[in-house]
Amino acid sequence: MINVSEIGKALGEIKACEQIVRPYEYTAAGRAILEGLNRLRGLLKTPSKTNIDQCISIIEKGEDALGVYRYMSVVEDLLKHLSKLKEHLKKAKERLK
């Protein structure tokens, strides 16, 4: 059985990421990030190993794309939350039966 608290924590990290990005929603990058976060939220409505793997893949692609902008504090904050999000998802996946 899945640990609901890990999914809840993951959703909390998604919300934190959305709050960081929301001021940039009118830029192409901001819009793309918010769409990705919305996709994560949708996948987590029905948590499964496959959906969690998809979420982790989306996060890792985002981390790779954002890595070159790490010098910007807003990006650094976003990357920290994405890292926490990924850890919660890994824990949730371990507890799936």
Distance CA 92, CA 48 (A): 9
**Which regions in the chain score pLDDT beneath 70?**
1-4, 97
pTM: 0.92
pLDDT of residue 2: 54
Containing domain of residue 35, as a range?
A: 4-94
How many domains in the chain? 1
pLDDT of residue 96: 82
CA angle, 10 as apex, 5 and 14 as ends, to 5°? Answer: 145
pLDDT of residue 97: 67
pLDDT of residue 53: 97
pLDDT of residue 95: 87
In this structure, which long-range contacts are made by residues 34-39, counting pairs with CB atoms below 8 Å and at least 24 apart in sequence?
36/62
